[in-house]
């Protein structure tokens, strides 16, 4: 028997489904606004094994990610696990032009108005 999610856990789950909805619908302004509302105290994007972006570089990186990949990739959320203020998501990336599928795992830590996202792709 599972325990119902807390209000905070449900808000995190809602964040993931909302970001996915905006991404797949091509709504960049809504996608970026969601991140700004979720992380008013700061954003960190960690591309595991590659680079970590903080501050304005993280916001620029999020914009670059959108510009580089949104026209090419639709995302399917296969699994989302939320524990407290942390989440882990397993995504399937559908590359239309190449008709291929790739996968990725992303973890998110929501603390004091800041968001630290780690991307394993």
Contact 115, 106 (CB under 8 A): no
At residue 97, the pLDDT reads 85
Instruction: Tell me if 104 is assigned to some domain.
Output: yes
Its pTM stands at: 0.93
User: Residue 76 and residue 95: Cα distance in Å, rounded?
Assistant: 11
List, run by run, the mean pLDDT of 10-residue segments along the chain (121 residues). 85 97 98 98 97 98 97 96 97 91 97 97 88
Instruction: Tell me if 65 is assigned to some domain.
Output: yes
Instruction: Tell me if 112 is assigned to some domain.
Output: yes
Instruction: Tell me if 59 is assigned to some domain.
Output: yes
Nearest C-alpha neighbor of 65 from the set 45, 39, 90, 88: 45
Compute, in degrees rounded to 10, the torsion defined by CA atoms 93, 116, 3, 91.
0
Q: Show the domain range for 44.
A: 7-120
Instruction: Tell me if 83 is assigned to some domain.
Output: yes
Instruction: Tell me if 2 is assigned to some domain.
Output: no
Instruction: Tell me if 81 is assigned to some domain.
Output: yes
User: Residue 116 and residue 97: Cα distance in Å, rounded?
Assistant: 31
| Structural domains in the chain (count) | 1
Contact 116, 53 (CB under 8 A): no
At residue 99, the pLDDT reads 85
At residue 65, the pLDDT reads 96
In CATH, what number is assigned to the domain containing residue 114? 3.10.450.50
Instruction: Tell me if 1 is assigned to some domain.
Output: no
């Amino acid at each position: 028997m599972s325990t119902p999610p807390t209000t905070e856990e449900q808000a995190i789950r809602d964040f993931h489904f909302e970001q996915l909805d905006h991404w797949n619908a091509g709504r960049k302004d809504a996608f970026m606004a969601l991140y700004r509302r979720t992380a008013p105290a700061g954003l960190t994007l960690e591309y595991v094994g590659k680079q970590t972006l903080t501050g304005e570089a993280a916001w620029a990186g999020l914009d670059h990610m959108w510009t580089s990949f949104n026209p090419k990739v639709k995302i399917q959320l296969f699994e989302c696990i939320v524990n407290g203020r942390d989440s882990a998501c397993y995504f399937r990336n559908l590359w239309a032009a190449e008709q291929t599928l790739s996968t990725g795992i992303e973890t998110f830590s929501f603390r004091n108005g800041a968001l630290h996202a780690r991307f394993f792709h």
